[in-house]
Amino acid sequence: MKTQTRVVVIGGGIAGCSTLYHLTQEGWTDVVLVERNELTSGTTWHSAAQVTNFGMTQTMVGLKSHSIRLYKELAEDPEYPINYHHADGGIRLANTERVMEGYRHFASMAKGMGVDFEVIDGEECARRHPLISTDNLIGGLWDPLDGDIDPAQLCQALARRARKAGAEVYRNTPVIGLTQHQDDSWTVHTTHGDIACEIVVNACGYRVNEVGAMMGVHHPVASMEHQYFLTEEIPAIREAGHRMPLLRCPISDYYCRQEKFGLLVGFYEQGCKTWGMDGIDPNFVNALCPDDLDRVTDVLEGAFARMPALTEVGIHTVVNGPITYTIDGAPLVGPIPGKRNAFCIIGLRAGLGEGGGHGWLLAQQIVHGEACYDTWVIDPRRFTGHANVELTALKAVEDYQNEFRFHFPHEHRPAGRPMKTTPLTPILAAEGAEFGTVNGWERVAYIKPAPDFHETHSFRFTEAFDVVAAEVKAVQEGVGLTEVNGFNRIEITGPGARDWLDRMVCGRIPRNEGKVGLGYLLNHHGMVKAEATLANLDEGTIWYGSAAASVYHDMDWLTAHLPKDGSVRLRSLTNDWTILVLAGPRARDVLQAASRGDWSAAAFPWLSTRRAFVGIAPAVVMSVSFSGELAYEIHVPNASLYAAYLALRRAGEAHGLRLFGSYAVESMRLEKGYLHWKADLVTEFTPFETGLDRFVAMGKPDFTGKPALERMVAAGARRAFVSLVLDCTHAPAHGGDSIIHEGRVVGTVTSAGWGHRIGRNIAMGFVEPGFAAPGTRLSVEVIGAPVAAEVVEGCLYDPENVRVRA
Ligand SMILES: Cc1cc2nc3c(=O)[nH]c(=O)nc-3n(C[C@H](O)[C@H](O)[C@H](O)COP(=O)(O)OP(=O)(O)OC[C@H]3O[C@@H](n4cnc5c(N)ncnc54)[C@H](O)[C@@H]3O)c2cc1C
């Protein structure tokens, strides 16, 4: 066994084997995989191993497509062919028009990734799958490339190719400890000796937290018991003369595929069970949980009704095994938060279908620091401190119960809520607030007009449309107040703070005390990594503020680039402070009435900051606006939040102050052309391609990502960021929808919604540069149907910024 290598991948299921193989493909061949037993002896060996292209984001579709391409190539390898039923086709069923609309949206999104889905009616579903009835069926989504693979052969094929390229695989070699050294390198302790390495990868399936504990980390991953059964032969299958397509049913929560000339049917029952919460038997190897078909009787009935042939055959095998889930159903693939040189590929609940793609994206991240797609949807840093073991288990159960039911826009499911709150949460709830969650924080979406008001989540405009219109109007004409909790806030101090930050940000940073500015951070490929509000406070203190979801992500990036001499210090204030946003033409009057001092435009102009008291509450006030109206961000320590809120409410009485929420903010920021991190700001594009030219100072001697950005600029823009107005009033576009020119996809929507002040349906997105000029006529697929669209200037409301300066 080697005693020194570059990367040690721990775990020899699909996750580990795919990572090892792809590391060699990226050019790192001095790499090792250690497996405590035999390859695939965790979950992988007994997987139903269905392989679909379906995903709810373009990143997921892209990585699944990679799996399919790779598996096909492996299956056709004459030296070591493997069993892969490629392109049997698969149907995701639907019995409501609302779900069909979702499928149309997902089909449009997949089209942008070169993947062709088809939305078909119930009769067509039955024509393609002769065993199903059309009762209670409207139609479905057809994935032509759906199939299934032999999981053990797949892993062996990947390991074999990796070995051929120079990697080594050590079986029956449990990892029993991990030590990290001063230089961030690791020693991996195994029962067969130690291996020194630069980087470790946790790919340990349901044992993820045993290995996590060895590095002092708890991963938000929980296991669920999951069952399928295999039937005896069904004559109609043999008679059909073709393989049955796969089925996934969100109506009755099961899936089904052909196995030999019978069926394999798997269930997602409501009375489901977590597994291994209090530790896992060390001898649970190549093992299964006891059969428990009684648990799935509710779901069985639905499957039997859809496929009557099931009632006529016997069941010959039941498989019940652990399957891992995270808090949002997507896996954790990328850097382990708070650790250096440590990565994970865990929480895979569809690891066979996705594993090829996840290993590909992880290997790219390890070798190049970033992958070809923006990987935020699978980034382990998207969950923060709230993602404890109890919450993970609750969300895992909820996710399992809703396995095939995608989230509708704005849908935030109830398990484990409220998670993170401020002292204002119950007060705002009593005011009628409807909440969504942002990184676990309960954030006001809108104020319900009546206690029994209910929004039906949909891909169309909902009942909340008029409610939001009224909130926007109140902000535009008077003054509104909203809470923005969980905003990521890092205090930067130390003698080297300004110069260091200047190198981290690609534009100018506010050098004068009392000034605020927007800064963009690039990665080493010259792509947009982070966006921050930079406030130059007094006494050499800078506040770095960014999206609530970015807490771990941004801290990791900043920490990794800190000077070694201790001249810059970072301190997170995120959990201790909350923002109250006061917005609208009367905002100054309210602030002036609530806070001593001169708040006139002359004394405190746009983009200023100062410490002050709001009532008796200490605060940091910034004159910045995400709404395009005169606005103040009032940052208050949580202990004083209620006091500040009361002071503003009282001062606001004379000015008709109204509460508003994030839906209204979203409408207004779209009109202003302001961008959202990880919707519009992604690592796939440079700041120039993202339309951020005015925030880049190429004249600066140096900043992170500058050499790469220069190369990208020289090579020419690949995409351009645009705003569009759509000729349509029944629905907004949604992130991922395709932008079309003469039948060809020329771009993708990143965010969209109704602009209530301008009365237009707005979409933003990236298009091929030739289609970016204002006035260009395109179409955007809204719920799968093309609607006319026109490229417009980015800022559609008060482009001169008169109102924010008023
Ligand atoms: C019944 C069932 C049906 C499924 N059907 C499908 C499907 O149709 N399609 C699909 O895509 N997915 C399906 N899945 C899920 C899929 O099987 C898993 O997502 C996938 O197998 C997980 O692979 P993994 O590599 O992450 O974990 P595992 O396969 O569990 O591999 C982890 C490996 O790490 C090793 N390990 C653990 N601790 C150590 C240590 N200390 N030292 C060294 N090695 C260690 C283990 O021995 C194990 O081999 C199904 C799962 C189940 C249970």
| Cα 81 to ligand 1 centroid, rounded to whole Å | 22
Determine how many CB atoms are found less than 10 A away from the CB of residue 172: 13
| Cα 694 to ligand 1 centroid, rounded to whole Å | 48
**Total-model pTM:** 0.97
User: Which pLDDT score is estimated for 641?
Assistant: 98
User: Which pLDDT score is estimated for 102?
Assistant: 98
Q: Is the CB of 43 under 6 A from ligand 1?
A: yes
- Tokens describing residue 345: 């590929």
Q: What distance in Å separates the CA atoms of residue 324 and residue 326, rounded to the nearest whole number?
A: 7
Q: Is the CB of 337 under 6 A from ligand 1?
A: no
Sequence-separated (6 or more) residues with CB below 8 Å from residue 260: 233
| Cα 365 to ligand 1 centroid, rounded to whole Å | 22
| Cα 341 to ligand 1 centroid, rounded to whole Å | 23
The DSSP annotation for 479-543 comes to: -EEEEE-S-EEEEEESTTHHHHHHHHBSS----STTEEEEEEEE-TTS-EEEEEEEEE-STT-EE
Determine how many CB atoms are found less than 10 A away from the CB of residue 565: 9
Q: What distance in Å separates the CA atoms of residue 453 and residue 387, rounded to the nearest whole number?
A: 31
Q: Taking a C-beta distance cutoff of 8 angstroms, is the pair 204, 346 a contact?
A: yes
Atom of ligand 1 nearest to the CA of 173: 43
193 phi-psi bin (left φ>0, alpha ψ -120 to 50, beta other)? left
* Atom 20 in ligand 1: residue holding the nearest Cα: 351
Q: Is the CB of 202 under 6 A from ligand 1?
A: no
Q: Is the CB of 36 under 6 A from ligand 1?
A: yes
Q: Is the CB of 44 under 6 A from ligand 1?
A: yes
Atom of ligand 1 nearest to the CA of 257: 8
Atom of ligand 1 nearest to the CA of 319: 1
| Cα 35 to ligand 1 centroid, rounded to whole Å | 12
Q: What distance in Å separates the CA atoms of residue 40 and residue 33, rounded to the nearest whole number?
A: 13
Q: What distance in Å separates the CA atoms of residue 528 and residue 518, rounded to the nearest whole number?
A: 13
| Cα 218 to ligand 1 centroid, rounded to whole Å | 19
| Cα 675 to ligand 1 centroid, rounded to whole Å | 38
Q: Is the CB of 16 under 6 A from ligand 1?
A: yes
Q: Is the CB of 34 under 6 A from ligand 1?
A: yes
Q: What is the pLDDT of residues 133-170, one digit of tens each?
A: 999 999 999 999 999 999 999 999 999 999 999 999 99
Residue 78 class from Cβ within 10 Å (0-12 exposed, 13-18 middle, 19+ buried)? exposed
- State which of 8, 35, 47, 254 you would mutate to test the pocket of ligand 1, scoring each by most atoms of that ligand within 8 A of its C-beta: 47
- State which of 296, 345, 352 you would mutate to test the pocket of ligand 1, scoring each by most atoms of that ligand within 8 A of its C-beta: 352
| Cα 411 to ligand 1 centroid, rounded to whole Å | 30
* Atom 33 in ligand 1: residue holding the nearest Cα: 11
Q: Is the CB of 209 under 6 A from ligand 1?
A: no
| Cα 576 to ligand 1 centroid, rounded to whole Å | 39
User: Which pLDDT score is estimated for 538?
Assistant: 84
The ranges of the chain with pLDDT < 70 are none
| Cα 50 to ligand 1 centroid, rounded to whole Å | 14
C-alpha distances (whole Å) from 640 to each of 344, 441, 617, 619, 643 are 39, 18, 5, 9, 5
* Atom 12 in ligand 1: residue holding the nearest Cα: 350
Sequence-separated (6 or more) residues with CB below 8 Å from residue 99: 138, 250
Atom of ligand 1 nearest to the CA of 354: 11
- Report which secondary-structure segment, H or E, holds 34: strand 31-34
* Atom 35 in ligand 1: residue holding the nearest Cα: 11
Q: Is the CB of 359 under 6 A from ligand 1?
A: no
| Cα 14 to ligand 1 centroid, rounded to whole Å | 7
Atom of ligand 1 nearest to the CA of 321: 53
* Atom 21 in ligand 1: residue holding the nearest Cα: 44
Determine how many CB atoms are found less than 10 A away from the CB of residue 281: 8
Using alpha carbons only, what angle is made at residue 752 by residues 480 and 580, rounded to the nearest 5 degrees? 25
